Amino acid sequence: MIQALNVTKKFDKILAVDNISATIKNGNVFGLIGTNGAGKSTFLRMAAGILKPDSGSIKIDDKEIFENIEAKSKFFYISDEQFFFTNCTPEDMKNYYKNIYKNFDIDRYKKLMNSFNLDEKRKIKTFSKGMKKQVSVICGICAKTDYLFCDETFDGLDPVVRQAVKSLFAQDIEDRNLTPIIASHNLRELEDICDNIGLLHRGGMILSKDLEDLKLDIHKVQIVFKEGIPQNIFQKLNIIKTDSRGSLNVFTIKGNREHINSYLSSLNPIFFEMLPLSLEEIFIVETEGIGYDIKSLII
């Protein structure tokens, strides 16, 4: 388990991470999402022991991570920008990692390199961005660590390879309880793989919650009333967003699904349906609630 407690990090006068606390359980996929400059990469770098928090602590299996070789052996870090040794090949990186990670699976490495059609003797500097990501993912999977830190790992991968990588993650989660922590802007890529979500904004953690629980707590409703919107509906329900398209009203509502359904049905509307929100829609609703609104970004 990874535990972050009141973690703060500044760069000169820039507050990159502001008093974040989070718990990442073993065997779950934790998605770290957020606005641009929210602190996702900075948080991952602290979790990887690359940066030291100015205050607070990050522990992996109850061990402080920074400058702790034993703790660092428990994870593999895939950065957003790929860095490899000068003029090295995937084979060179494999030989390097097998000396660091005692359980590095050489046989699986060879099978995956062949499956992804990657030449292990070709210099990595000649690879495309997506191919470099594939090499990192393969090395990360084959390191057989308990945790895998992924910063924009799906960026640059084509749709087929993205699904293949997700399948690899799912296989290792089931087989050996791997815990991937994935930071990404692409919310659609995370929706079908994440168990838990941490939402960052301007360095702070807005929420950290089970994805299914989050979806159960916020709903999109399309409804047509007989005689316009009832005046007391806003007192009865926690309606956080409204949109009208002629007689059709679209509400985003927080609260218990059964209560919302029961109340709206009692109004005898002409038409009524409750729809699930996507992770992207939830992100927009939550960030709009704290002032990060698309209307304020458009001149």
Which of 213, 229, 254 is the last residue in one of the domains?
Answer: 213
Q: Looking at the structure, tell me whether residues 102 and 127 fall in a common domain.
A: yes
CA 293 to CA 202: how far, in whole Å? 14
pLDDT bucket at 281, cuts 50 / 70 / 90: confident
CATH code, 97:
3.40.50.300
Q: List the CATH number of the domain containing 256.
A: 3.30.70
> pLDDT tens digit string along 100-155?
999 999 999 999 999 999 999 999 999 999 999 999 999 999 999 999 999 988 88
Write out pLDDT tens, residues 204-250: 877 777 877 777 788 899 999 998 899 889 999 999 888 888 899 99
Helix 106-115 vs helix 90-100: angle between axes, to the nearest 10 degrees? 150
pLDDT tens track for 122-137: 999 999 999 999 999 9
User: Is the domain of 221 the same as that of 209?
Assistant: no
pLDDT of residue 275: 87
Alpha-carbon gap, residue 287 to 299, rounded angstroms: 19
Residue at a domain's end among 158, 181, 213? 213
pLDDT tier for residue 297 given thresholds of 50, 70 and 90:
very low
Do 224 and 97 fall into the same domain?
A: no
Q: How many domains does the chain have?
A: 2
243/266 same-domain check:
yes
Q: For residues 251 and 169, state if they share a domain.
A: no
Q: Grade residue 294 by pLDDT with cuts at 50, 70 and 90.
A: very low
Tell me, what's the pLDDT at 211? 79
For residue 161, the Cα-to-chain-centroid distance in whole angstroms is 18
Residue 140: CA atoms inside 13 Å, Cβ hemisphere, count? 26
In contact, 138 and 113? CB cutoff 8 Å: yes
pLDDT in tens, 27-84: 989 999 887 788 999 999 999 999 999 999 999 999 999 999 999 999 999 998 888 9
255: its two tokens: 């609260």
Query: So what's the pLDDT on residue 208?
Result: 78
Distances (CA, A) of 183 to 80, 100, 206, 277: 9, 24, 15, 21
**Would you say 250 and 243 are in contact if contact means Cβ atoms under 8 Å apart?**
yes
CB contact at 8 A, 294 and 286: no
Asked whether residue 296 carries a pLDDT value surpassing 50, the answer given is no
The reported pLDDT for the residue numbered 218 is 85
- Statement to judge: residues 105 and 248 lie in one domain: no
What is the DSSP secondary structure assignment for residue 6, as one 8-state letter? Answer: E
Domain housing 246: 217-297
Whose tokens are 């594939």? That residue is: 134
Return the number of other C-beta atoms located less than 10 Å from residue 240's C-beta: 15
Q: In whole numbers, what is the pLDDT of the chain averaged over residues?
A: 89
190 and 238 assigned to the same domain: no
